[in-house]
Chains A and B, each alone.
Chain A
Amino acid sequence: MDAEEVIAKINSGDDKFLETVYAMNRPIFVGWFRKRGCPDDRISEWYQEAFFLFFEQVRESKLSKLDASVSTYLVGIGKNLDRQTRKNYWEKNVDKQGADILLIAENSGEREEEDAPPEATEKVKGALKKLGENCREILIMFYYRRFSMEAIAARANLKNENTAKKTKYECLKKLREIYKNL
């Protein structure tokens, strides 16, 4: 299966397949960074982040084809994370004049903290927790995973596309009510 087919299958929303892609590509990623002396904990963190970023690219349709295999792409993201780690450390801790960037890499491990999400986002997440599990899943499938109504109907065991549309509308209405009253 080439990279394009992998991407198409991920887009179809098959999470079992996504897990398989995760497991199958992990040894190459881990092996590559282990050979360079990176500690396992950091490799594990980078692989999770690389896979998440890969998935986000696929989800946002920014990645419809790849120059190389998925593992190559993931290692590429990992290399960028590694570089970013070094750069952050360099900027924070070391005088730029005469610094040996490679030496710094040995000691670096910090990542920049992500910005805190806006208050409204946190409020919606709170409202989602109060919504039933089915509704929450349907809304996430539609607005985050960008599944078609047909796919949502199949995954949520709904009769058809129209039922899925109606259910999604009811769920959204409920969520808005909870959100307003929080």
Chain B
Amino acid sequence: MSADHSALSRIEAYTLGTLPEAERRLMDAEREKDAELDAAIREFEEIKAGIEEAGKAELREKIRSWEEKAREREPGSRVPGIRIAAAAAVFIGCVAGLYFLLPQNGGVEETAYEMFSPYPGVITERSGSPASAEDSLFTYYAAGNYAAVVRMFESRQSFGDDLEGLRDFYLAESFIAEGRYKDAANLLADFDDGEHALFEVARFHYALALILSDRKNEARNTLRLIATEDGLYREKAEELLALTDD
């Protein structure tokens, strides 16, 4: 390996973060004293960033071409030849065992998605009035900014008053809206006060969060309970149960 090659390899490892810690510290110190080395590292970083951008642009181009193909295959496309070829490809793919690529239980998950919408507005259990503006979690929630609610939780910011024990409910709703199903299910599992005004919706959303976090057996237990009662979500629970039977 030439001296050039060796120097470049060292700069590469430094830039990629694969240099051992002691060597990295040494190089940090060298860099401060050696302007040439510092410039070489900066240049390498620019080159790496440029290659990454080129890679991203290439991938976007590929995705664009896949999208065009997919749109041509859709019903209503004016290219029947391509549709026939696509149908043949799907058939051959299935025969070859490609069917395993289909999303598992996509039906029940999709339906669970369909059925979820964050509980509208923020009310207190007792008064039925909107939450106060000081309760920032509730303010964000009411504005539909679920990401902000989750961020507050993650950065351990104060949520304001725990509005009659509903803070966790609205946080769980925000988790579902942000695709954090496991976290939502963990919170909603504790929402077991049958007398609470939001108990029914919390329990149903718990079942949805379980489905979406691939805990379908547990979801079935909750759905069976809902289906045996004459409540708001009975029909939906039955529908989901039928889908989890498939």
Interface residues of A (CB under 8 A from B): 1-2, 6, 15, 19-26, 28, 31-32, 35, 44, 47-48, 51-52, 55-56, 67-73, 75-77, 79-80, 83, 86-87, 101, 117-118, 120-125, 127-128, 136, 139-140, 143-145, 169, 172-173, 175-176, 179
Please tell me which one of the listed residues B59, B101, B105 contacts residue A20 in the complex, with CB atoms under 8 A apart: B101
CB distance from B56 to the nearest CB of A (A): 7
- A121 and B46 form a contact (CB under 8 A): yes
- Residue of B46, B66, B103, B182 touching A67 (CB-CB under 8 A): B182
Q: Name the residue in B101, B109, B145 with the highest tally of chain A Cβ atoms < 10 Å from its Cβ.
A: B101
Chain B residues within CB distance 8 Å of chain A: 4-5, 8-9, 43, 46-60, 62-64, 66-67, 69-71, 93, 98, 100-106, 109-110, 113-114, 143-147, 177-182, 212-214
CB<8 Å pairs between A and B, sample of 19:
A22-B70, A25-B103, A48-B63, A67-B180, A68-B109, A68-B213, A69-B104, A69-B105, A71-B109, A72-B212, A80-B147, A101-B144, A120-B46, A121-B53, A125-B57, A128-B54, A143-B52, A144-B54, A172-B47
CA–CA, A32 and B67, complex, Å: 17
Min CB distance A36 to B, Å, is 9
Query: Judging by beta carbons under 8 Å apart, are A83 and B144 in contact?
Result: yes
Q: Which partner residue on chain B sits nearest A179 by CB separation?
A: B47
Interface contact A55-B106, CB-CB below 8 Å: no
- List chain A residues, Cβ under 8 A from B57: 125
Residue of B nearest to A56 (CB): B56
- CB neighbours of B49 from chain A (8 A): 118, 120-121, 124
